[in-house]
Structure 1
Amino acid sequence: MGEIKRIQDVASEASACDTIPAEFVRPEDERPGLTTYKGDLPQVPVIDFSIKDEEKLVAQIYDVSCKWGFFQIVNHEIPDDVVSRLKEVGTTFFELPQEEKELYAKPPGAKSLEGYGTKLQKEVNGIKGWVDHLFHILSPPSAVNYKFWPKNPASYREANEEYTKYMHKVEERLLRYLSRGIGLEENELRTAVGGDDLIYLLKINYYPPCPRPDLALGVPAHTDMSVVTILVPNDVQGLQVFHEGNWIDAQYIPNALVIHIGDQLEILSNGKYKAVLHRTTVNKEKTRLSWPVFMEPPPDMEVGPHPELVTNENPAKYKTKKYGDYVYCKFNKIPQ
């Protein structure tokens, strides 16, 4: 076993005594039991991808990306069974014996995020998240490292490759609309983040049951480093977004795709689009899983405000830097 205790093990010990170890207890201003908004609030926006009027679709996506940085897409044309298989094989992996999962553990000191693991970045005040994870790249083929793809279940690779095939179409459409929304040519944004070299980094989050879901978080509040993140969850509630000063539950919609605007899109749009601050809560009885795919520029690609969006009246609000350097700074809590 690695030197890090897996949350799955912590959870089974904790369930016996109905408490959680002190290193998982959030400060009061972060505890979901105290900070989740309970009143009537606007529902998280839902976009119907089957609308025939493209101008209307562009306008809707622009609006929610500026105001929320977050929305869900329905009628996205990824078949339900393709999404179901993705979830099924990922869930099966996390139900394997611990020794088998450890075969895919992230190598100590590795620069890449790929592999099975628990701790992700510098923990603020040493407080831990209630989550285990598996990372691996889905695309482009030149960046894929199959040693991090589980061999069990046997259909794991096929299910992930099938999902990736459909994901390409959604990502291309989405970036096209986002590009047009800020007044650029439809292919400009995608080109600015690497075009066909855009990296699809899958993360499977596994949040086991937690005896004190009012005190802990699966993942604390953060924005994604990506351009955009496209996520599917299982049916256990847990995703929350920060909107107009409140933590709001994002309602579960079967087979919807959950879209997060990431840091790179905020930077590229020179602040027009907002990277969404979000966090995940955990459940007392049920295991929650989610499958975010982070759409990321290649590490050596420089990303900064798009030149067409920078003027004397609207100067650049962000630095231009290589994506790999951006990631390093964010993980190590170094000001950008």
Structure 2
Amino acid sequence: MERVQGIALKYKEKIPEEFVRSKDEQPGITTVKGAVFEVPVIDLSNPDEEKILQSIVDASQKWGMFQVVEHRIPGEVISKLQEVGREFFELTEEEKEVYAKPLDDGTLEGYGTKLQKEVHGKKGWVDHLFHKIWPPSAVNYQFWPKKPSSYRETNEEYAKWVQGIGDKLLKWLSLGLGLEEDDVKEALGGENLVYLMKINYYPPCPQPEVALGVVAHTDMNIITILVPNDVQGLQAFRDGLWYDVNYIPNALVIHIGDQMEILSNGRYKSVLHRTRVNKEKTRMSWPVFLEPPADLQVGPHTKLVNKNNPAKYKTKKYSDYVYCKLNKIPQ
């Protein structure tokens, strides 16, 4: 299967038709010009933890996303993560194909291009690599690149730090629902919660105004903790319009995902977002998806449901939810 990175080298002026989005999706037409989405920015070093909590709850209810600064992940840990990811995508196609995603086993892990069923056979201008980074029992090293040689060590180091952020966010989100601080994490798998790394690689695109990297979607997991590179590309949907999300150096972008919306019985909202591509520069991002174990049943938390506030969502096994979402089957 030809990867987008290879296609980008061949098509210097016009992209193949399968990458041209319909008029109602083209970012050149549908993006609000001259305006950026001022996503809430939350300083995690604020000594007033109540203020952090309220800011996170507010952003999760009204926006479905926010950015965090002063998150304590050392700059060199993030720089190294970006460096080894970039080096992997600079390998030859043969070297990368060793990690290609198996076509038939339902796993997301591996190197690939296509992720979900696309409407009208259209494609996103992106290649990706998925692999689980935590817990150790879920890690499958066959999908971890052996080149560069520091790839494994770097990702294991990042896994330690990102768990710290994940635990804090889940605690605050739990307290924000009026629950005990561990209730949300326990309901979503506790220590078996899975951290799934994805690297998105968006090569330069000669017609960025008609293509999309990743099409409009909400994340199907619990929350997403994303490291971008410095090339603008993330867009969010608000009040019927698409906006560029402001890029903040050294910030982590946090998305509320579908499972958090379900568990909160709709109090928190998963954010509809997409990514655009750049004419001159390669854009990359490193989202980590916090997921329930595949066989866990997820529904509205029992403490949040009563006869005055009935369940608004079905309880469903996470693997079934994922299958329906990727294959565009109504939930």
TM-score range, shorter chain: over 0.9
Q: Provide the residue aligned with 1:38 in structure 2.
A: 33
Deviation digits for residues 237-281 of structure 1, max 9, x if unmatched?
100011222211111111111000000000000001000000000
Is the counterpart of residue 125 in structure 1 residue 120 in structure 2? yes
- Residue 82 of structure 1 corresponds to which residue in structure 2? 77
Equivalent position to 2:16, from 13, 18, 21: 21
1:106 is the counterpart of 2:73: no
Question: Given the alignment, which residue of 252, 260, 277 partners 1:282?
Answer: 277
Count of aligned pairs between the two proteins: 331
Aligned counterparts of 1:182 and 1:244: Cα–Cα separation in 2: 25
How many Å separate the matches in 2 of 1:40 and 1:79?
Answer: 31
Greater shift in the superposed pair: 310-319 or 143-152: 310-319
Q: Displacement, 1:308?
A: 1.1
Q: Secondary structure at 1:285's aligned position in 2?
A: coil
Q: Secondary structure at the match of 2:215?
A: strand
What RMSD over aligned residues (CA atoms) do the two structures have, in Å?
0.9
- 2:9 aligns with 12
**Segment drifting more, 304-313 vs 65-74:** 304-313
Partner residue in 1 for 2:53: 58
* SS at structure 2 position matched to 1:279: strand
Q: 1:246 to 1:153 in 2, by over 3 A?
A: same
Q: What does residue 183 of structure 1 align with?
A: 178
**C-alpha distance in 1 between matches for 2:46 and 2:22:** 44
Q: Is the 8 A contact 2:37 2:244 kept in 1?
A: no
Q: 2:216 aligns with which of 221, 236, 253?
A: 221
Counterpart position of 2:289: 294
Q: Deviations over 1:151-208 (max 9, x none)?
A: 0000000110111101111000000000011111110000011111100000100000
How much identity, in percent, do the aligned residues show? 66
Q: Aligned equivalents of 1:77 and 1:42: distance in 2?
A: 25
Cα distance, 1:40–1:153 mapped onto 2, change above 3 Å: closer
In structure 2, runs of 5+ residues without a counterpart are: none
What corresponds to 2:238 in structure 1? 243
The reply to whether residue 232 of structure 1 matches residue 227 of structure 2 is: yes
CA distance in 1, matches of 2:37, 2:223: 23
Q: TM-score, normalised by structure 2?
A: 0.99
Report how far residue 39 of structure 1 moved.
4.2
Query: SS at the partner of 1:222?
Result: coil
The secondary structure found in structure 1 opposite 2:306 is coil
Structure 2 residue 153 is matched with structure 1 residue 158: yes
2:319 aligned to which of 306, 316, 324: 324
Superposed CA deviations along residues 12-49 of structure 1, whole A, max 9, x for unmatched, are: 1111xx00111111111110000111144551110101
Q: TM-score, normalised by structure 1?
A: 0.97
The residue matched to 1:219 in structure 2 has which SS? coil
1 CA distance for matches of 2:277 and 2:306? 45
Gaps of 5+ in 1: none
Q: After the TM superposition, which of the residue ranges 237-246 and 259-268 deviates more from structure 2?
A: 237-246
User: In structure 1, what is the equivalent of residue 133 of structure 2?
Assistant: 138
Deviation at 1:57, TM superposition (A): 1.0
What is the one-letter code of the residue matched to 1:68?
W
The answer to whether the aligner puts 1:47 opposite 2:42 as a matched pair is: yes
Deviations for 1:281-317, whole angstroms, at most 9, x for unmatched residues? Answer: 0000000000000000000111000111112121111
In structure 2, distance between residues paired with 1:182 and 1:189:
9
SS in 1 for 2:133: strand
Secondary structure of 1:172's counterpart equals helix
Matched, 1:70 2:65: yes
SS in 1 for 2:168: helix
